[in-house]
Amino acid sequence: MTILQTLGVFVGIPLAIYLVIGLLVFLPGRHSRRGYRAGEQWDYPPQLWAGDTPVQIPAGDALAGTSEGGARGSW
């Protein structure tokens, strides 16, 4: 390989990739809706991320552990 081919592979291709990514960053996005600003009216339905049913905690005996087990996992 000549020096020009080597520079083209190791400098030109990475530089072209960075330029393409850089140009894509500055293009207008496909998503034209504005984000929520503090104090604005919320016009979207609520979303429940944790679920809408309460968590049932088992009785006290179910939480008691034993002294068996260990790092080997032979329990």
Q: Residues 14-35: pLDDT tens digits?
A: 999 999 999 988 887 766 667 7
Interval 48-67 mean pLDDT? 67
**Would you state the pLDDT for residue 18?**
96
Torsion of CA 21, 27, 33, 38, to 10 degrees: 70
Residue 8 and residue 23: Cα distance in Å, rounded? 20
Contact assessment for residue 68 and residue 75, using Cβ atoms and an 8 Å cutoff: yes
- 3-class SS at 73? coil
Go through 51-71 and write b for each residue having 16 or more CB atoms within 10 A of its CB, e for each that does not: eeeeeeeeeeeeeeeeeeeee
